[in-house]
Amino acid sequence: MLNIKNLQVKLEEEDKQILKGVDLTVEAGKVHAIMGPNGSGKSTLSYVLSGRDGYEVTGGSATLDGEDLLEMEPEERAAAGLFLAFQYPVEIPGVGNMTFLRTALNSQRKARGEDEVSAAEFLKLVREKAKALKIDADMLKRPVNVGFSGGEKKRNEILQMAVLEPRMCILDETDSGLDVDAMKLVSDGVNALRDEGRAFLVITHYQRLLDHIQPDVVHIMAAGRIVKTGGPELALEVEKNGYADILAELA
Residues that bind ligand ADP (CB under 6 A): 11, 18, 36, 38-44, 54, 174
Among Mg ion, ligand ADP, none, the one that 207 touches (CB under a kind-dependent 5 to 8 A) is: none
Q: Using CA atoms, how far apart are residues 175 and 172, in angstroms rounded to an integer?
A: 8
- Contact present, 117 and 105 (Cβ < 8 Å): yes
Compute φ and ψ for 11, nearest 5 degrees: -70, 145
Shortest distance in whole angstroms from residue 50 CB to ligand ADP: 13
Among Mg ion, ligand ADP, none, the one that 107 touches (CB under a kind-dependent 5 to 8 A) is: none
Q: Residue with the closest Cβ to Mg ion?
A: 43
- Given the complex with Mg ion, which of 83 and 122 has the nearer CB atom? 83
Site residues (CB under 5 A) for Mg ion?
38, 42-43, 174
Beta 17-26 vs 199-203: how paired, if at all? unpaired
Among ligand ADP, Mg ion, none, the one that 158 touches (CB under a kind-dependent 5 to 8 A) is: none
- Given the complex with Mg ion, which of 97 and 207 has the nearer CB atom? 207
Shortest distance in whole angstroms from residue 148 CB to Mg ion: 22
In sequence order, the 6+-apart residues with CB closer than 8 A to the CB of 236 are: 207
Number of Cβ atoms within 10 Å of the Cβ of 116: 13
Helix/strand/coil for 23: strand
Among ligand ADP, Mg ion, none, the one that 204 touches (CB under a kind-dependent 5 to 8 A) is: none
Phi-psi region of 113 (alpha: psi -120 to 50; beta: other; left: phi over 0): left
Shortest distance in whole angstroms from residue 191 CB to ligand ADP: 24
